[in-house]
Amino acid sequence: MAIAKSKVSAVAARSVNSASRMAKRYFITTPIYYVNSYPHVGTTLTTVVADVCARYHRMLGQPVYFLTGTDENGLKVAEAAEKAGKTPKDHTDFLAEEFKKTFLAMNVSFDDFIRTTEPRHVEATQRFFKILQDNGYVYKGVYEGWYDVSSETFYKETDLVDGKSPDGNEVRWVSEENWFFKLSAFQDRLLEHIEANPTFLLPVSRKNEVVSFVKQGLRDMCITRANPGWGIPMPGDDTKVVYVWFDALINYLAATGWPEGDWQDIWPADVHWMAKEIFTRFHATLWPAMLMGIGVDLPRHVVAHEWFTFGDMKMSKSKGNIIEPLELAGDIAAKTGCKSEIAIDVVRYSLAAQLPYGGDTNYTRDEVDRLYNGDLANDLGNALNRTLAMAHKFVGGAIPDAEIEQEAKDAIQHARSEFDRYMDSFQINKSTESALGLIRFLNKYIDTRAPWALHKDSNPALPNVLRSMLACLRAAEGLIRPIMPTAADEMARQLGLPPTKLWSEIGSDTNLPAGATLATPEPIFPRLDPKKNAESKESKIQNPKSKMETQNPTSNTPPLSPQPSALSPQEITIDDFAKVQLRVARVVEAEPVEGADKLMKLQLVIGEEKRQIVAGIRLNYKPEELIGRQIVVVYNLKPRTMRGVESQGMVLAAVDENGGAILLSPEKEAPEGATVR
């Protein structure tokens, strides 16, 4: 009878309050993190992808409530504190603050940070326990079995592998009189709910694992332990504390203010984010059953990502492969010269792009470097620099008042719809790829439409093409905003526009006002310096070397040109000079050559022909300063290979007093491929 009354009263409370409630907030949670060590990229992964979700829904115009926090009860925490020579409170206070500081530094926009030692959580846990008890779902019994302190999990004898837990941890035999939760009573109801709600558990592979687990038969769960002096006392019996996994799950409900006030303005959770190891037993089975037991709605989606491996191994202190997110960001800034806040965005991007959704992913510093150079420096940064440089050169540095070409409109719409589609199933990695896909389209579009050729021919399509290029950048600024908010702000600044705030603005004409003045292009993602990268791998940036120490005195890079000589120049005839063909070329792409201090790889248009030339001008010119510029090249020089890169000609440059390059350019715009004589 008590069960029926509890369910009726809960439903009645919902119906009475529904008319006066504000619009429900989109409620996103991370797992709460054990305070037995510092945050690393594994814990930061879940938090960052949840933040991407939160920022996306805010741009959709939805009120969002984003919760994260720390799990501070349990025997493992007490033992870790003792080992550190601290009280459990001092230990948890310190590490909870470290998690909070790390997440804030990673630009995580959480609305609430809950700790399981807070009074609100303690009170909610005891209230939850009492309601289950009143509803007949809690009973007293004796527990005998194996307990893994490391994961705070009970195991049957048949669960053990070579005398250890399935995770390889040591186990202890426990024999205690305790309280049990009637988890077995919810087996059929859980299966029915999963069947009726196909996206309740994601991804599908994980859902199938849960269904199989439940069908094997659910056992009642021990939900108290003997009180070790640390934990939440069981209501009515302070010789016991509430089992840490039972108490930890209640944080999601405690943060809403349940059971008081307007908690239903937030609950149910729209998405619980977590890693796979805590999905099947706890979030997909125990937690829904607990909520059913007190008559409260279940979360709408429970999403588990796979693991990061580190060098093809599971991360562990003993293996020395732990990567801390802020240290990684500092390493990126040191190797590339990008701003520290941009380096944070680079780490965020690497986590979102490599989210292991369909299988474990190997996360290494080398892979982060590859993503940086490939996706961010070569694709995004180069597209921004090329477009702005050509807009300044060809249309006076302002957004043209012209129609966007249909091809660009279609690409923008496709990228946005794909981003939305993947966000609906929480595949953040694929949404990230959709955003970068628009940038890759833009780079191909620039090569195909060739604004420099349109300018040369005074083609009236030039303003349309430039506006289309700028429209793609503006749309990309909106698309990457949930992932890289600081980089998106910098893109908006260089476009001379306010940040895109609403998702509906992406791709709209009003979001790209004609006449707006474009800023001078500045590299957001300078290319990774190979020397600094090698130095970083060697020293882990613990003892950074000076610039003098990083220079390579034995570099075999060929000099820019022969050095001045005191000897009289060797005379040649006009016939000798006539053998050299000089042409005007336009630079359409520029990037440093990896492994060389001085070399720059240039992609050129010479008349109707495209060529690649390697020139020793890197110390004097930045790539973005070269794009769109006309230069003079030796057209008929035999190709040669430098640092593994073929050079199909030679750039003409004067030599300054320090031996640096001063590129030679026509005094005014010359016909593309014009002969120099």
One DSSP character per residue, 260-293 reads STTGGGTPSPSEEEEEGGGIIIIIIIIHHHHHHH
In whole angstroms, give the CA distance from residue 122 to residue 116. 7
Q: Are 74 and 244 in contact (CB under 8 A)?
A: yes
- The CA-based angle 501-506-512, given to 5 degrees, is 90
Tokens at residue 458, please? Answer: 């005074």
Look at strands 630-634 and 650-651 and give their pairing: antiparallel
Q: What is the pLDDT of residue 571?
A: 78
Task: For the beta carbon of residue 118, count every other beta carbon within 10 angstroms.
Answer: 17
Does pLDDT of 258 surpass 50?
yes
| Cα dihedral sign, 386-387-391-397 | negative
Q: At what angle do helices 382-395 and 428-449 cross, to 10 degrees?
A: 40
Q: Please answer whether residues 596 and 552 qualify as being in contact, where contact means their C-beta atoms are separated by less than 8 angstroms.
A: no
> Is 330 in contact with 343 (CB distance < 8 Å)?
yes
Please say if the pLDDT value at position 259 is more than 60: yes
- Residue pair 299/269 in contact (Cβ under 8 Å)? The answer is yes
| Rounded percentage of the chain residues whose pLDDT exceeds 90 | 62
Q: Work out whether strand 26-29 and strand 271-275 pair parallel, antiparallel, or are unpaired.
A: parallel
- At residue 2, the pLDDT reads 37
Contact of 394 with 462, CB cutoff 8 Å: yes
Distance CA 203, CA 158 (A): 28
Q: Nearest to residue 112, comparing CAs of 257, 259, 291?
A: 257
- Residue 521, pLDDT > 60, answer yes
The rounded distance, in Å, linking the Cα atoms of 295 and 5 is: 10
Residue 319, pLDDT score: 58
- pLDDT surpasses 90 at 470: yes
Residue 74 one-letter amino acid: G
Which residue bears the tokens 């809960």? 10
Q: What is the mean pLDDT of residues 36-44?
A: 87
Report which of 585, 651, 586, 587 is spatially closest to residue 614, judged by C-alpha positions: 651
- Among residues 42, 40, 46, the alpha carbon closest in space to that of 304 is found at 46
- What is the C-alpha separation between 284 and 274, in angstroms, rounded? 11
pLDDT at 8: 32
Residue with tokens 């409170």: 89
Whole-structure pTM value: 0.79
CA dihedral 467, 468, 469, 471 (to 10 degrees): 80
The token pair at 409 is: 């409109």
Distance CA 91, CA 36 (A): 9
Rounded mean pLDDT of 498-515? 97
Average pLDDT over residues 297-322: 77
What pLDDT score does 291 carry?
98
Cα–Cα nearest to 618, from 568, 665, 661, 589: 661
pLDDT band at 672 (very low <50, low <70, confident <90, very high): confident
Mean pLDDT of 381-396: 94
Mean pLDDT over each residue of the chain, to the nearest integer = 87
pLDDT at residue 657 in the model: 59
Nearest to 112 by CA among 263, 306, 319: 263
Q: What is the pLDDT of residue 313?
A: 63
Top mean pLDDT of 277-281, 355-359, 486-490, 587-591 is at 486-490
Which two tokens mark 323?
Answer: 């990567």
Helix H or strand E encompassing 574:
helix 574-578
H or E, element range at 173: strand 172-181
Cα gap 635→637, rounded to integer Å: 6
Choose between 664 and 37: higher pLDDT: 664
Label residue 210 by pLDDT band (50, 70, 90): very high
Q: How do strand 64-71 and strand 26-29 relate by DSSP bridges? A: parallel
Quote the Cα angle for 187-192-194, to 5°: 95
| Between 561 and 48, residue with greater pLDDT | 48
pLDDT of the residue at 546: 30
**Region of poorest pLDDT, from 308-312, 493-497, 515-519, 663-667:** 308-312
pLDDT at 311: 64
pLDDT digits (tens, 9 = 90+) for 600-655: 999 988 987 889 999 999 888 888 778 888 899 999 998 888 888 889 999 998 88
Q: Is the peptide bond before 235 cis (omega within 30 degrees of 0)?
A: no
All domains of the chain, ordered by start, with CATH? Answer: 2-305 (3.40.50.620), 325-511 (1.10.730.10), 574-676 (2.40.50.140)
Q: Is the pLDDT of residue 542 over 80?
A: no
Please give the distance of CA 253 from its chain centroid, rounded to a whole number. Answer: 27
Give the pLDDT score at 670.
Answer: 76
In angstroms, what CA-CA distances link 643 with 318, 537, 587, 593, 594?
39, 22, 21, 8, 8
CA-CA-CA-CA torsion for 359, 362, 367, 368, nearest 10 degrees?
Answer: 80
DSSP secondary structure string for all residues of 484-512: -HHHHHHHHHHTTSPPP--GGGTT-GGGS
| pLDDT score for 523 | 92
pLDDT digits (tens, 9 = 90+) for 51-78: 999 999 999 999 999 999 999 998 888 8
Compute the C-alpha angle 250/254/255, nearest 5°: 120
Beta pairing class for 582-592 and 233-234: unpaired
Give me the residue label for tokens 């042409």. 583
> Which tens digit of pLDDT belongs to each residue from 324-347?
999 999 999 999 999 999 999 999
pLDDT 10s digits, 84-131:
899 999 999 999 999 999 999 999 999 999 999 999 999 999 999 999
- Flag the least confident range among 208-222, 251-265, 580-594: 580-594
558 falls in which pLDDT band (50, 70, 90)?
very low
**CA–CA separation, 291 vs 59, rounded Å?**
31
Taking residues 269-280, report their average pLDDT.
95
Contact present, 670 and 584 (Cβ < 8 Å): yes
- How many residues appear in the chain? 677
Query: Predicted confidence band at 545 (pLDDT cuts at 50, 70, 90)?
Result: very low
